[in-house]
């Protein structure tokens, strides 16, 4: 894909003005880093506040009396009882129990749900919903009309409450319509960094004004995809297409926590989503391999795709995400290993440029999550 054919977010000109290094990502020309550099951008977000352009993500609205019930037939998550003004993490599953995408779902009230899906999957997600539930509710794509900004870090609350004091009272995963600089925005207290912060859905034409206003605050710096990746990795958060895909189920991906209790095998509304039988069978019988956190024991970054072996050199898995964790001051990784090596503390090795790098299976998150729960 040439730069000319890549899509651009409404903040594209601002990224260039700020000196960003641009890279192709999910069909978009996106900032991977700014002159500050990935390491400083990462630490800035952990210590102060960082502003991310995540407008490449897909935003959608579902409307109608049956919207929640309809969406629930596609995800192993409780949507029907999702309170108004709250957001929940969900996954689309296929008939084999594989993960088609992960997404966020918010209840706006008035029989309206607001969804954020991954950039690389948004067109297929829209087609998937139109095919399966299009006759049960109205599905409106906001792909071309709204931008998405993420303001993350411990100072995010101070910054955003200068524009709208009410956001300070929001807690983790709350969702509200908020007026920012005279513009109606959707704001959730959530993010993809492990830090406190907000995601802000804003009309395209107002995105640059809002971004400039936030960047003008002393605590805020622009942050690129490079630091976004190292931040989410330290927080133990999956990246779709890497740490989970159609070839992994929620059980294999260690995402049982995201399957709401009412939708599990013994729940009040058990099953009824694609692949439920396979997922329930795995929950009962266990799986051959599972996603785990990995801490390399040498200062060698272990990257995605590296084979994982046991003490005898037998291949037992592969790394799906890896790099250096600036907050931790050490390399971190995630990957899939055979069930016998899943227990925390298990010794495994990654093959990096033909050499064995010792690793220990570790609990995630690697860095404590600091979501604001009130």
Residue set of the binding site: 199
d(CA 203, CA 74): 28
DSSP string, 143-166: TTTEEEEEEESTTHHHHHHHH-GG
DSSP state of 108: E
Copy the structure tokens of residue 29.
């020309």
Binding site as annotated, residues for substrate: 199
DSSP string, 1-70: --GGGSB--TTHHHHHHTTPEEEEETTEEEEEE-TT-HHHHHHHHHHSEEEEE-TTSEEEEEESTTHHHH
Q: With beta carbons less than 8 A apart as the criterion, state whether 99 and 244 touch.
A: yes
d(CA 244, CA 335): 10
Give CA 356 to chain center in angstroms: 31
């Amino acid at each position: 894909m040439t730069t000319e054919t890549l899509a651009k977010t409404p903040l594209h000109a601002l990224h260039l003005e700020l000196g960003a290094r641009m890279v192709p990502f999910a069909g978009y020309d996106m900032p991977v880093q700014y002159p500050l550099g990935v390491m400083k951008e990462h630490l800035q977000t952990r210590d102060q506040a960082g502003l991310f352009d995540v407008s490449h993500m897909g935003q959608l609205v579902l409307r109608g009396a049956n919207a929640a019930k309809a969406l629930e037939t596609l995800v192993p998550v409780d949507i029907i009882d999702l309170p108004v003004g709250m957001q929940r993490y969900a996954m689309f599953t296929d008939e084999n129990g594989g993960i088609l995408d992960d997404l966020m779902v918010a209840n706006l009230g008035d029989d309206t749900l607001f969804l954020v899906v991954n950039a690389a999957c948004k067109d297929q997600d829209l087609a998937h919903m139109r095919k399966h539930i299009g006759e049960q509710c109205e599905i409106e794509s906001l792909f071309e009309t709204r931008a998405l900004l993420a303001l993350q870090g411990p100072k995010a609350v101070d910054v955003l409450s200068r524009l709208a004091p009410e956001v300070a009272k929001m807690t983790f995963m709350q969702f509200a319509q908020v007026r920012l600089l005279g513009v109606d925005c959707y704001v959730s207290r959530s993010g993809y960094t492990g830090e406190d912060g907000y995601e802000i859905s804003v009309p395209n034409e107002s995105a640059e004004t809002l971004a400039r206003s936030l960047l003008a605050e002393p605590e805020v710096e622009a942050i690129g995809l490079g630091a976004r990746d190292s931040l989410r990795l330290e927080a133990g958060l999956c990246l779709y297409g890497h740490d989970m895909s159609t070839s992994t189920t929620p059980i294999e991906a260690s995402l049982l926590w995201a399957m709401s209790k009412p939708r599990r095998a013994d729940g009040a509304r058990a099953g009824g989503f694609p692949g439920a039988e396979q997922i329930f069978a795995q929950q009962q019988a266990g799986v051959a391999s599972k996603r785990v956190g990995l801490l390399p024991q040498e200062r060698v970054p272990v990257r995605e795709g590296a084979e994982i072996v046991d003490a005898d050199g037998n291949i037992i898995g592969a790394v799906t995400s890896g790099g250096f964790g600036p907050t931790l001051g050490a390399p971190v990784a995630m990957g899939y290993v055979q069930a016998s090596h899943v227990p925390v503390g298990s010794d495994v090795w990654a093959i990096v440029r033909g050499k064995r790098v010792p690793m220990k299976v570790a609990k995630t998150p690697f860095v404590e999550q600091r979501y604001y729960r009130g």
